[in-house]
Amino acid sequence: METATSHEPAERGQDTSARATSPTSSAPPAITDASPFATRSPLDDRALSIVEATPLADLQGLVDRARVAQLAWADVSVRDRALAIGKIKQRILARAEEIAELVHRECGKPIEEAALAEVLPNADLVDYWTSAIEELLDGTTIELDALSYPGKMGRIHKDARGTLALITPWNYPVAIPLRTLVPALLAGNAVLFKPSEITPRAGALVASLFAGILPEGVLTLVQGGGDIGSALVAAEGIDLVVFTGSVATGRRIAVACAERLIPCSLELGGKDAAIALADCEIERTSNGIVWGAFTNAGQNCAAVERVYIDKGVADRLIPKIVAAAKALRPGVDTAMITTQKQCAIVRRHLADAVAAGGEILVGGAPEEGSLAFPPTVIKLATEDTALMREETFGPILPIFIVDGEDDAITRTNASKFGLTTSLWTRRYNHAHTLAKRLRSGVVTINNHGFTAAIPSAPWTGAGDSGYGITNSAHALAELTRVRFVLEDRNGAKRELWWYPYTPVLRTIAFAMAKLRGGAGIGGRISALFKLIGALPKRLTGG
C-alpha cells in the first residue's frame, strides 16, 4: 500500500525529521536515488533541504511509545489540554512569513495564497477548538424511566480514541494536518503524523509548532514514502487511521483497517461542479468560478473541475469567464503544478478532451517540462472524456452547456465523486431546494470551495470522495469513543427481571405491554390492576 502523493495520487512529536539547510540553497542535497523525498523546488528547480526518513525498524517502537504517552495525556484535564494547545495560535501567526515562504518554495503556490490558506484560517481553527472542546466533550445524562429502571442513572462520555495514524497530502501541507491534529490532541489522543514525501519540510514545520507544549511521544513525526505509510497503517496499536489522498490508496487503507476492525476516516478528492443558472449574477459568477477553478492551480479536492452553464446565460457568462482566466499569470497569480507526475496527468486530460472535440478558449499546455501550466478554459461537446470523469487536479476549467437546472443536477450527480457543488443564482430559496437534490457533502450558493477554512462547518463527501469528516463537532465522532456508564442506587435485593422466572413475572411483562399501547382503554385499565396486584408479589420473591 502506498501512502499517496495527493489526490491524484499523492500521498509530532517533539522530534522533527527535516535537517535545516537553507531551502533556497543551490547546492544539491546529498540524497541517494532511493530517497522518497522531493529534492527540488517546483518554482525554479533549486535544491531543497535534506530530509531524513524514519527507519522502518523504529516505527513500532514509536507507536508503542505513543500509546504509553497517550494514557497520561488523556488524564490531563480538557481545560489544561486546551490551554497548552492554544499556544500554537500565536506561533502560527508569529511564523506567518516563514510558513508562507516554505509552502511557496516546496509546493510552488503564490505566497499570498500560502498566507491566506495555510496561515490565517489555522488561527481560527485553534480558537474554535480550544474554546469549544470542553463543552463538546462534556458528558450527557440520559433519562431513564423510573418505573422500569428504578434508582438508576446513566451518563454518556466521549473518551479519546487512542493512538491515531494521520497521513496527509502535499497540496495544503499545513492546513490539512492541523484540521485533524488540533481536535485529535485536544480530545486526548496521541498522533503519529506522516506528511507527504513531496512536502516533508512543511510537515516538519507543523510538528515544530507543538514543540515543548506536548509531553514526549504524544505527537510523533514520521517521515518517508509509501513503505513507511503502509507500515504505519499496519502497525500494532493504531486505533484510527485518518487519510487524505487518492481513491486507490484510500480503498487499500479501508481494507487494511477493516481486516483489523479499526475505523478509518477517508477524504479522497472530488470532481466538483459549479452550476450557473440562467438568472445568475454574471460578474460574481464568472469571478467566483475562475477563483474556484484556479486557486492553487486547481490542486485542490474542492476545485471547480466541471462547469454546467444554462444555455440561457451561456453567451454572456462564457466570455466573462474567459476574460477573467486570461488575465491570470501562470506561476504568479496561479500556483505551479507541484510535481511533474501531476503535470503529466493534467496534460493527458486536456489532450483527451481536445481529441473528443473540445475547444480551448484560453490557455493550453505549456512547453514540455514546464510546471507553469496556464489557466485553461475549454468548451466541451461531450462529457465522455477523462476531463469530466476523473479528478484532474490541475488548472483546467471545462465548460458544458446544459438545458436547464434539472439537466445540470442530473449530470452533477452522475459523477462517482460527491464532495462539493456550487449553485450560482439570485433565487436563494430555490437554491436551497436544489441543494437537497445534490449528492454532495458541501453545497455553496454563490461561492465555491472555501468552507474547509471554517472550523465550525463540517467537511465531508459521498461516493469516491470518501466518508471522513473534518471540522465541526461532527469530527469528534471519529476522534473519540463513546462510553456509557450506568450507576444503580436501587437498594432492592433483586431486579424485577432477574431470576427466578415465574408466572408472576409473566403476568407483569404482558400487563406492561398492554399499558404501553398494546391494548385499548379497557385493556389498559385491566392491565393496570393486574400490575398493581403482581408487583408486590414479585418484589417479595414471587
Among the four given CATH numbers 3.40.605.10, 3.20.20.140, 3.30.70.890, 3.40.640.10, the one describing domain 56-268+474-481: 3.40.605.10
- Asked if the model's pLDDT at residue 272 lies above 70, the reply is yes
For cell 462520555, the residue is 157
Residues 290-309: pLDDT tens digits? Answer: 999 999 999 999 999 999 99
Predicted confidence at residue 34, as pLDDT, reads 59
The DSSP H or E segment spanning 483 is strand 480-488
Residues 337-350: pLDDT tens digits? Answer: 999 999 999 999 99
Q: Which residues are registered as beta bridge partners of 309?
A: 276, 401
- Asked if the model's pLDDT at residue 24 lies above 80, the reply is no
Lowest-confidence range among 15-29, 137-151, 271-285? 15-29
pTM higher than the cut 0.75: yes
Residues 99-131: pLDDT tens digits? Answer: 999 999 999 999 999 999 999 999 999 999 999
Residue of 449, 460, 457, 453 whose CA lies nearest to 473: 457
**Cα(542)–Cα(538) distance, integer angstroms:** 4
Terminal C-alpha separation, the chain = 63
For cell 465548460, the residue is 399
Section 186-191 average pLDDT: 98
Predicted confidence at residue 541, as pLDDT, reads 83
Q: Which fold has domain 272-457?
A: Aldehyde Dehydrogenase; Chain A, domain 2 (3.40.309)
Residue of 241, 242, 247 whose CA lies nearest to 262: 241
459 SS3 class: strand
User: What are the backbone dihedrals phi and psi of residue 531, each rounded to the nearest 5 degrees, phi first?
Assistant: -65, -45
What is the pLDDT confidence band of residue 10, given thresholds at 50, 70 and 90? very low
415 SS3 class: coil
Kindly list the domain boundaries of the chain, sorted by start residue.
Answer: 56-268+474-481, 272-457, 492-539
The DSSP H or E segment spanning 220 is strand 219-221
Count CA atoms closer than 13 A to 518's CA, side-chain side.
11
Share the mean pLDDT of the chain.
93
Residues 319-370: pLDDT tens digits? Answer: 999 999 999 999 899 999 999 999 999 999 999 999 999 999 999 999 999 9
- ω into 366 cis (within 30 of 0): no
Between strands 264-267 and 152-160, the pairing is unpaired
Residues 63-93: pLDDT tens digits? Answer: 999 999 999 999 999 999 999 999 999 999 9
- Asked if the model's pLDDT at residue 8 lies above 80, the reply is no
6 compared with 535, residue with greater pLDDT? 535
Residues 218-243: pLDDT tens digits? Answer: 999 999 999 999 999 999 999 999 99
Predicted confidence at residue 1, as pLDDT, reads 41
Angle, alpha carbons 194-199-201 (nearest 5°): 85
